[in-house]
Amino acid sequence: MALNAAHKLKKAHRYIMGLFTDEDQAAAAVQAMETSAYTLHRVHSPLPSEKLARARKKKKSMVGWFTLTGGIIGFFSGFALAAFTATRWDLVVGGKPIVALIPFFIVGFEFTILFAVFGNVIGLLTQTNLPSLKNLEYYDPRCSGFHYGLLASCEPGQEDGLKQFFTQKGAEITVFEEKG
């Protein structure tokens, strides 16, 4: 019952998107949104933007750590696999060491690359929450071209204030009607 009430309360919000053609104006609007009475939900960008990420105070991605971990595990797995198989076969090596470092480093290097790719894919899938179908009904196709879109919500009756906020920051306005 409480979940239904929260869902109805969330749907009572009005969603308005400000569309910016300038990345600096969009970043300034994101920073100004923090001190306003409006709620910023999403930022749509036609390309990755370091300025918008800094304005939203996003922390650095953890995907690199997944890649590093996969690479380290891969190196030791490849080296261990080569050493294990060399010790299991009774090969005559003519007095040379059975576990030779240089050839086994090559196998370890190849496994490093393979496992780093696996780690990277696992990191991407777990850290980016793809696919995210949330708020797709509140999307303007111009954000795929040359516009930066800031999706914000406000309480009913505050639409004019949010529109004025975006207009003062230099944005075009898109108002989304309630769905369902």
Digit-coded pLDDT (tens) for 26-63: 999 989 888 888 888 888 888 888 888 888 887 888 99
Task: Give Cα separations from 4 to 38, 123, 136, 137 (angstroms).
Answer: 23, 34, 21, 20
Query: pLDDT tens digits for 93-143?
Result: 777 888 888 889 999 999 999 999 999 999 998 888 776 776 677 888 888
Measuring CA to CA, which residue among 152, 179, 178 is closest to residue 165? 152
Backbone angles phi, psi at 41, to 5 degrees: -100, -50
DSSP assignment of 130-166: SS--TTTTS--GGGGTT-EEEEEEE-TT-HHHHHHHH
Q: Which residues contact 165 (CB under 8 A, 6 or more apart)?
A: 18, 32, 33, 36, 38
Contact assessment for residue 32 and residue 169, using Cβ atoms and an 8 Å cutoff: yes
